[in-house]
């Protein structure tokens, strides 16, 4: 059953989340949200010069990946890797996708989780075989949470860099980084130790772009089915608790498949989280909705109020704040 036919059931939890290794590889392109991201439509904030500097550095880096023209000389001296570090919503993924679009040749773009899931599905050696010789490997949200996965990726990237591939990565929102994730770059370089000297780190400062305009809030609906009926394209409607239960049975690397092709999802009975694991799974799910630009029409507690204060004050604060920023964007009537 394809994702499209399962949509007709109208329930998110009935959708087919199976993902073959082949489909995983096909997914290694920038998500819909960043299909048109370029260096030209990135608007650097003049109050934060690191943004303009990042654009220049990425232009040079992507030019180096092509190894042609003006940048050839520079490319030979430049490092094969670039790491974009910074707070949420400053445009790291936008810039990573822009670098990908700018690069010619065989290239890949995925989240850290997608790459590790690919190694899990294919095995290590076949993954190297598949990716080697690529002009660019773009990795969004490099995770340092799991030492095993970090080591696996460092080994993979070492091999790929040795084949001449360039690597661009962005920082994930690290746990316990209550500030701006200031130490993420150092952690990253330490963890990928053997690769560290191959990476140039770019620190991007700034405000959450999604909230540049106004202080917004997540909108709650009192007629989910009615609003969904007015949205063109496939939609689903489920109870919040049913979705949470379902998310616990699907590997997060497959959430992308769960939401694929949807225009909007409806959630009823939204309430605040009692358990951190449910909340973190929901955060990962929101990330995939956001990437695919799937609108949310929700009834119950406003979605920007579902993370209780004790969670917001805990080690995953930044992850929750970012999810709130994304939930505000996805529930706004002008979304997508
Ligand atoms: N300076 C900018 N000019 C134009 N668009 C921007 C800029 N910064 C961010 N955006 C847009 O704002 C949205 C959020 O940016 P993006 O997702 O790239 O940020 P991020 O740093 O990856 O954040 P996160 O921590 O949430 O992953 C995207 O739609 C992106 O295209
Ligand atoms: Mg991002």
List, for residues 240-282, the tens digit of each pLDDT value: 999 999 999 998 888 999 999 999 999 999 999 999 999 999 9
**Selection from 217, 255, 263, 212 nearest residue 91 by Cα:** 212
Does the structure show a pLDDT above 80 at 126?
A: yes
**pLDDT for residue 86:** 86
Is the C-beta atom of 330 inside 6 A of ligand 1?
no
Q: How far apart are CA 280 and CA 177, in angstroms?
A: 16
Question: For ligand 1, atom 8, which residue shows the shortest CA distance?
Answer: 91
**pTM listed for this prediction:** 0.84
Bridge partner list, 239 = 268
Q: Which of 83, 93, 138 to mutate to test the pocket of ligand 1 (most atoms within 8 A of CB)?
A: 93
Mean pLDDT check: name the lowest of 105-114, 180-189, 303-312: 180-189
**pLDDT for residue 115:** 95
**pLDDT for residue 7:** 39
Tokens representing 158?
């070492």
Sequence-distant (≥ 6) Cβ neighbours of residue 164 within 8 angstroms: 80, 133
**pLDDT for residue 173:** 67
Which carries the bigger pLDDT value, residue 286 or residue 181? 286
**pLDDT for residue 334:** 60
Is the C-beta atom of 71 inside 6 A of ligand 1?
no
Q: What is the mean predicted confidence (pLDDT) over 327-334? A: 84
Q: How far apart are CA 54 and CA 57, in angstroms?
A: 5
Of these ranges, 117-121, 149-153, 296-300, the one predicted with the greatest mean pLDDT is 296-300
Q: What is the pLDDT of residues 157-171, one digit of tens each?
A: 999 999 999 999 998
Mean pLDDT check: name the lowest of 77-81, 181-185, 190-194, 301-305: 181-185
| Contact of 259 with 4, CB cutoff 8 Å | no
**pLDDT for residue 224:** 95
Is the C-beta atom of 92 inside 6 A of ligand 1?
yes
Which carries the bigger pLDDT value, residue 193 or residue 136? 136
Is the C-beta atom of 318 inside 6 A of ligand 1?
no
Q: What is the pLDDT of residues 199-219, one digit of tens each?
A: 898 999 988 887 655 567 888
Of these ranges, 6-20, 186-200, 258-272, the one predicted with the greatest mean pLDDT is 258-272
Q: Which of 55, 87, 91 to mutate to test the pocket of ligand 1 (most atoms within 8 A of CB)?
A: 91
């Amino acid at each position: 059953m394809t994702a499209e036919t399962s949509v007709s059931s109208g329930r998110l939890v009935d959708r087919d989340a199976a993902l073959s290794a082949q489909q995983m590889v096909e997914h290694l392109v920038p998500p819909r949200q960043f299909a048109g991201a370029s260096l030209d439509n990135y608007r650097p904030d003049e109050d934060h010069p690191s943004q303009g500097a990042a654009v220049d550095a990425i232009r040079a880096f992507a030019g180096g990946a092509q190894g042609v023209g003006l940048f050839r000389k520079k490319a030979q001296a430049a490092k094969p890797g670039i790491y974009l570090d910074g707070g949420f919503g400053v445009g790291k993924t936008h810039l990573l996708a822009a670098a990908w679009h700018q690069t010619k040749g065989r290239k890949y773009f995925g989240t850290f989780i997608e790459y590790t899931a690919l190694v899990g599905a294919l095995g290590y050696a076949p993954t190297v075989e598949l990716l080697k010789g690529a002009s660019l490997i773009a990795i969004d949200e490099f995770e340092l949470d799991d030492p095993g996965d970090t080591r696996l990726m460092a080994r993979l990237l070492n091999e790929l860099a040795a084949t001449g591939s360039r690597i661009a990565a962005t920082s994930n929102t690290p746990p316990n980084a209550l500030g701006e994730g200031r130490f993420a770059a150092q952690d990253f370089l330490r963890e990928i130790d053997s690769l560290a000297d191959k990476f140039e780190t770019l620190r991007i400062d700034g405000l959450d772009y999604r909230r540049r305009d106004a202080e917004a809030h997540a909108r709650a609906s009192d007629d989910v089915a009615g609003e969904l009926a007015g949205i063109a394209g496939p939609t689903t409607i489920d109870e919040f608790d049913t979705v949470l239960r379902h998310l616990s049975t699907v590997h997060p690397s497959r959430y992308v498949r769960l939401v694929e092709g949807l225009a909007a999802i409806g959630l009823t009975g939204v309430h605040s989280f009692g358990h951190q694991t449910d909340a973190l799974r929901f955060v990962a799910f929101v990330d995939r909705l956001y990437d695919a630009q799937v609108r949310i029409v929700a009834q119950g507690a406003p979605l920007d109020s579902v993370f209780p204060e004790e969670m917001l004050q805990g080690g995953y604060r930044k992850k929750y704040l970012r999810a709130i920023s994304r939930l505000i964007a996805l529930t706004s009537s002008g979304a997508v």
